[in-house]
Amino acid sequence: MKRYDAIVIGGGHNGLVTAAYLARAKKSVLVLERRPRVGGAAITEEIFPGFKFTMFSYVVSLLRPEIIRDLDLPKHGLHILPLESTVTPMENGDYLAAWGDHDETRRELYRHSPRDAEAYDEYGRLMHFMAQAVKPILGMVPPDPTSFAPGDLAGLLKLGKHFRGLGGERLHALVKLMTMSSADFLDEWFETDVLKATKSASGIIGTFLGPRSPGTAYVLLHHYMGELDGVFRAWGFAKGGTGAVSEAIASAARSFGAEIRCDAGVSKVLVRNGRATGVVLESGDELSAGIVVSSLDPRRTFLQLLDSNELPAEFVADIKRFKFRGSSGKVNLALDLLPSFTCMPGIGRQHRGAFSISPSLDYVERAYDDAKYGEFSRRPYMDIVFPSMIDPGMAPPGKHVMSIFVQYAPYHLNGGWTDAKREAFGDAVVNTVESFAPGFTSKILHRQVITPLDIEKITGLSEGNIFAGELALHQLFFLRPAPGWAKFATPVRGFYQAGSGTHPGGGIMGASGRLAAMRILKDRA
């Protein structure tokens, strides 16, 4: 039987990135994917004949450019197209739009508030600085502040120096971003409610928090990360959907010699004398490897693939405490015609960008209130894109696909999710869109509603959390996924973690997978 240098469990984008980097370093690598195709939550499927959907994740914003360069992804078919605008319809029939052009956006903001138009530029500059300040942290292996190891002390010192190098103003802004609610943070800058609403909405994605919950300001930064890498705008859409991103990474991994096996779910990691030696497949087959890497979320990695007695009790308790609380759903629609929104009638360039259904801070906060007490939002926050407007290959000629990211849909719904509840949730989404775009419902050809429970069932992400674990302050950095074990190694020797549930986590970023591969290669050097 062939023995691999490394087996990577899970063919999501992070697992594939790890595999590609390991293979690039001349290791023999096998990726095991439970489903018939790679991609995990980043998949494109033709759900209705001729209509392709990016099933779960829908935009590519944070995919690390060094990964694109290192793995030469464009050669393997990756093409990220810009998402040009965001239009936020308001309940009074007006709108707020952010366009690709600075002057145009400024003029639009000026219409709402001359002062906010100026504050927006200043805010943008500060956030740009801040993104620059945080970027090196995303790229570093988090030092453990509880450890006295020289490496950790040096890491802490480096971190301290980095922060002090920012200077007072930016350091204070960073503290504010890490601790404040997005609503409070934005209150310090702007007076236009709809502007604060649409900005704060980006701070709640994937969390079980509302715009007024402390800790949501940090995610505001993510919007500015992309720009740093010379990308003109942060938000993009991959040609062929996010599945194409996974396919490109898989193709790159194969080109380096990695083997990828689908329909090959792993049931257990084999451990002998505290050391991982291989895996057992659901089919019962055993495969052996020098190292085993799990890109599944921490709960499945440690509580499902391993026996608890292989792990320290304290660590198991920490992992059990790690919060998932999936809060988002997805509605995918096949459309006969594009909808016309009351605030900006007709079909036009607005359909090449996103529509954000976040008309006011109170609207988004009330959506959260529903979820807090175990109901899906009656009028949810939604982020809508029409992928077929950017990539015509996604739908039959003249027809369109519409991707609606919806929050909040709590995993722990009162009484649990049923088929009827799923459809009721879908109706709430469609009815809310209808209120901003009358006549929209009649254009729907097919509808697919995905709840957090569906996300869990299909992708395996625990509680349907799209970030493989909530991106909350106490679950970040050296606490992700557990104190002392945030450096991709695990208490089991030769067993590593590489998913979004590790630092830095979240989004189609690939950083966790890359850092994990670096760590493994360093350990094996």
Rounded CA separation 219/501 (Å)? 16
Say whether residue 167 binds another protein (CB under 8 A).
yes
**Which helix H or strand E contains 332, and what residues bound it?**
strand 328-335
| 375 belongs to the binding site for another protein (CB under 8 A) | no
Which of 3, 26, 69, 107 is close enough to bind another protein by CB under 8 A?
107
Of residues 324 through 363, those in contact with another protein by CB under 8 A are: 362
Q: Per rule CB under 8 A, is residue 114 in the interface with another protein? A: yes
Stretch that binds another protein, among 101-109, 220-228, 234-242, 502-510 (CB under 8 A): 101-109
CB 498 within 8 A of CB 512: yes
Neighbours of 300 (CB within 10 A): 20
Question: Which of 248, 239, 277, 250 lies closest to 15, judged by CA?
Answer: 250
Q: Find the binder of another protein among 26, 75, 164, 457 (CB under 8 A).
A: 164
Cα separation values, 212 from 205, 220, 325, 382, Å: 13, 13, 18, 17
Q: Which is nearer to another protein, 146 or 273 (CB)?
A: 146
Q: Residue 498 interacts with another protein (CB under 8 A)? A: no
DSSP H or E run through 460:
none
Residue of the chain from 35, 196, 212, 299 that contacts another protein (CB under 8 A): 212
CB 212 within 8 A of CB 184: yes
For β-strands 80-82 and 236-238, DSSP reports them as antiparallel
Tell me: does residue 26 bind another protein (CB under 8 A): no
- Specify the DSSP element, H or E, that contains 67: helix 65-70
Does 158 contact another protein by CB under 8 A?
no
Q: Which of 131, 306, 479, 498 binds another protein (CB under 8 A)?
A: 479
Query: Is residue 373 a contact point for another protein (CB under 8 A)?
Result: yes
Task: Say if strands 266-272 and 275-281 run parallel, antiparallel, or are unpaired.
Answer: antiparallel
Binding of another protein by 522 (CB under 8 A)? no
Half-sphere exposure of 115 (CA within 13 A, CB side): 5
Structure token digits, residue 520: 């493994």
Q: Is 372 in the site for another protein (CB under 8 A)?
A: yes
Question: What sections of 139-192 are H helices per DSSP?
Answer: 150-164, 168-179, 182-187
Q: Is 412 in the site for another protein (CB under 8 A)?
A: no
- When binding is defined by CB under 8 A, the residue of 321, 393, 414, 423 that contacts another protein is 321
Among positions 65, 82, 100, 145, the unique one binding another protein when judged by CB under 8 A: 145
Does position 176 interact with another protein (CB under 8 A)? The reply is yes
One residue of 75, 125, 158, 457 binding another protein per CB under 8 A: 125
Number of residues that bind another protein (CB under 8 A): 51
Q: Which residues pair with 278 in a beta bridge?
A: 270, 288
Tell whether residue 256 is a contact of another protein (CB under 8 A).
no
Count the Cβ atoms, other than its own, within 10 Å of residue 22: 29
Encoding tokens for residue 465?
């959390």
Question: In the bound complex, what is the minimum distance in angstroms from residue 100's beta carbon to another protein?
Answer: 11
129 binds another protein (CB under 8 A): yes
* Region of 23-31, 40-48, 169-177, 240-248 interacting with another protein (CB under 8 A): 169-177
> Does 18 participate in binding another protein (rule CB under 8 A)?
no
Name the residue among 334, 338, 333, 384 with its Cα closest to residue 358.
Answer: 384
Supply the minimum distance, in Å, between the C-beta of residue 456 and another protein. 21
By the 8 A CB rule, do 205 and 57 touch? no
Q: 3-class DSSP state for residue 211?
A: coil
- Please report, as ranges, the residues that interact with another protein according to CB under 8 A: 99, 103-104, 106-107, 114-115, 117-119, 121-122, 125, 129, 145-146, 148, 163-164, 167-169, 171-172, 175-176, 178-181, 184, 188, 209, 212-215, 321, 323, 362, 365, 369, 372-373, 472-474, 478-479, 483-484
